[in-house]
Chains A and B, each alone.
Chain A
Amino acid sequence: MIAIVKYNAGNVLSVQYALQRIGVDSIVTDDFEVIRTADKVIFPGVGHAQSAMQYLKEKGLDKLIISLQQPVLGICLGLQLMCKHSEEGDTTCLGIFDTQVKLFSSPALKVPQIGWNNIYNYKSELFNELSEQAFVYTVHSYYATISEHTTATTDYILPFSAALQKNNFYAVQFHPEKSSVAGETILKNFIQLT
């Protein structure tokens, strides 16, 4: 069973629907035991880093998430919360990745970045079978810097981490659940991890 972590960040249902479309059952839950014993855990999120971290701490979900042993996939805000620190609300995050999250800053380009952008320089089995320079759907104002954990890169104003990985922790900045066939390939790859 796939557990999707339920917390005060939006768009959790879209992830469940996307898994349904590739024939995978999942449960949206904040039950510690269900999350701890799930085959895989998805940590989604659309929202504000500071309020999300505060909520995770109040519920004790912060300690639970960093202690997980099975494959975990952070999505969008999920990725940012798995980093060390976010400029959004000057928030100390979970610290799984030793990576900083910063605000896009450029008078020449629109912020947030909304739409389809290509990813490249794949370094994870999450991107098996994916075409080079695949397009994925992305909506965000903050980005994770390039670090030793970067497993895919994308460019907007500057190159940043489209994906990160450390041990059993995987994360993507874009929304695979809304990224058409490319997103389905990535979700299938995650489901097939052992």
Chain B
Amino acid sequence: MLTKRIIPCLDIRDGRTVKGINFENIRDAGDPVELALLYSQQGADELVFLDITATVEKRKTLVELVKRIATNINIPFTVGGGISTVEDVSVLLQHGADKVSINTAAFKNPQLIADLSNRFGSQCVVLAIDTKKEEDGEWYVYLSGGRTKTGTRTIEWAKQAVALGAGEILLTSMNNDGTKAGFAVDITLLLSNQLPVPVIASGGAGCMEHFKEIFQQGNAAAALAASIFHYKEIGIPTLKKYLSNEKIAIRL
């Protein structure tokens, strides 16, 4: 049986792991390759590395890091952050990344999704969406790390992206991110039920019950979290054992 995936996310800046609260207040959380190795040994199903380095010259640091990750860890990993061209993706895949995640650039130029999917296959194109529930009760797409609001509803953009060739959706709720109050169940369920591709839920994990909830109530294929793993608030083996006991299909 295909299992639900637990995905630690490592935010990378200048080659180091960092973690912000509500997309701000960045703190240092260690060497990414050491963490990646630890997580893979602990039973993480996949890893996501999001590069929040702003400058172009620092991107070379990222490519070197991707190669170090690929040579050292034996599970799949996704790289995202600042990817805007087919060439960016080609370089990352050539250095050993399994998938890339694209966000703002894809929204501004949806053809990028089709180009990547045609060239590399939809299985390596993860569309990341930062989303926020507004006072009207609707979920909208936000860009540029959550700084820019759009008037586009999340479900509409997700459907369009999948039609263009996105193979997975990485959905981060800005309302939930950093709160440790649980994942956004309603929007995750909506996307998961309406899209033919897997949805990775992100933002808000605070305890093990939240993972159970997002798998059972939100129908997520995977759940992503960062700080609770980095700061050892929840151990991956403990979490997976708990979920398995709760009758959720999990790789132990």
| Interface segment, one of B56-64, B115-123, B135-143, B147-155 | B115-123
Measured in the bound complex, the distance between the Cα atoms of B121 and A10 in whole Å is: 9
Q: Are B93 and A114 in contact (CB under 8 A)?
A: no
Which chain A residue shows the least CB distance to B76? A178
Nearest B-chain residue to A47, judged by Cβ: B121
B98 touches A178 (CB 8 A): yes
When the two chains form their complex, are residues A111 and B196 in contact, meaning their CB atoms are under 8 A apart?
yes
SS class, residues of chain B in contact with chain A: loop
A20 to B75, CA, bound (A): 15
Check if A39 is an interface residue, CB within 8 A of chain B. Answer: no
With known contacts A112-B122, A115-B222, A180–B3 Cβ distance under 8 A: no
Contacting pair A179 B74 (CB below 8 A): yes
CB contacts (< 8 Å) of B93 on chain A: these are 10-11
For window 124-138 of chain B, which residues contact chain A by CB distance below 8 Å? 124
> Is A116 a contact of B45 with CB atoms below 8 Å?
yes
- CB-based contact A112/B123 at 8 Å: yes
- Is B70 engaged at the interface, CB distance under 8 Å to the other chain? yes
Option from A14, A116, A178, A179 in Cβ contact (under 8 Å) with B2: A116
Tell whether B110 is near chain A: CB-to-CB under 8 Å: no
Is B251 at the interface (CB under 8 A from chain A)?
yes
| Complex: chain A residue closest to B200, CB-CB | A114
Chain A residues with CB below 8 A from B70, complex form: 13-14, 17
Closest to B195 in A: A110
Judge whether B251 and A116 touch: CB under 8 Å: yes
Is the beta-carbon distance between A117 and B3 smaller than 8 angstroms? Answer: yes
Q: Is B96 a contact of A13 with CB atoms below 8 Å?
A: yes
Chain B 149-169 against A: per-residue CB contact (8 Å), 1 yes, 0 no?
000000000000000000110
In the complex, what's the smallest C-beta–C-beta distance from B45 to chain A, in angstroms?
6
Report whether A114 and B120 are in contact in the complex, using a CB–CB cutoff of 8 Å.
Answer: no
Q: When chains A and B are docked, how far (Å) is the Cα of A40 from the Cα of B197?
A: 36
| B-chain residues with CB within 8 Å of residue A166 when the two chains form the complex | none
In Å, the complex CA distance between A175 and B144 comes to 34
The yes or no answer to A184 lying at the interface (CB within 8 A) is: yes
> When the two chains form the complex, which single residue of B5, B168, B197 contacts A116, counting CB atoms closer than 8 Å?
B5
Contact across chains for B76 and A137 when beta carbons are under 8 A apart: yes
- The answer for the CA separation of A115 and B121 in the assembled complex, in Å, is 16
Known contacts A112-B122, A117-B3, A137-B76, A20 near B71 by CB under 8 Å: yes
Q: How far is the CA of A140 from the CA of B5 in the complex (A)?
A: 16
A189 on interface, CB distance cutoff 8 Å: no
Instruction: Decide: A110 near B74, CB < 8 A? Known: A14-B98, A17-B96, A115-B221.
Output: no
- Chain B nearest CB from A167 CB (Å) reads 29
User: In the complex, what distance in Å separates the CA atom of A115 from the CA atom of B167?
Assistant: 12
Which residues on the B side are within 8 Å of A155 (C-beta)? 1
User: Residues of A contacting B120 with CB < 8 Å?
Assistant: 10
Check: B94 CB closer than 8 A to any chain A CB.
yes
Asked if A117 and B1 make an inter-chain contact with CB atoms under 8 angstroms apart, the answer reads: yes
B71 A115 Cβ-Cβ under 8 A? no
Q: Report yes or no: A112 in contact with B76, Cβ–Cβ below 8 A.
A: no
CB-CB < 8 A to B251: which residues of A?
116, 135
Contact B2 A113 (CB under 8 A): yes
Residue of A10, A21, A113, A141 with most chain B CB atoms under a 10 A cut-off: A10
Q: Which residues of A contact B (CB under 8 A)?
A: 10-11, 13-14, 17-18, 20-21, 46-48, 110-118, 135, 137, 139-141, 155-156, 175, 177-181, 183-184
Q: A10-B124, A112-B123 are in contact. List 12 more A-B contacts (CB 8 A).
A: A21-B71, A48-B121, A114-B167, A115-B2, A116-B45, A116-B251, A117-B1, A135-B3, A137-B75, A141-B123, A156-B2, A178-B74
A-B contact pairs, 8 of them (CB 8 A): A10-B121, A10-B124, A47-B121, A112-B122, A112-B167, A116-B5, A118-B1, A156-B2
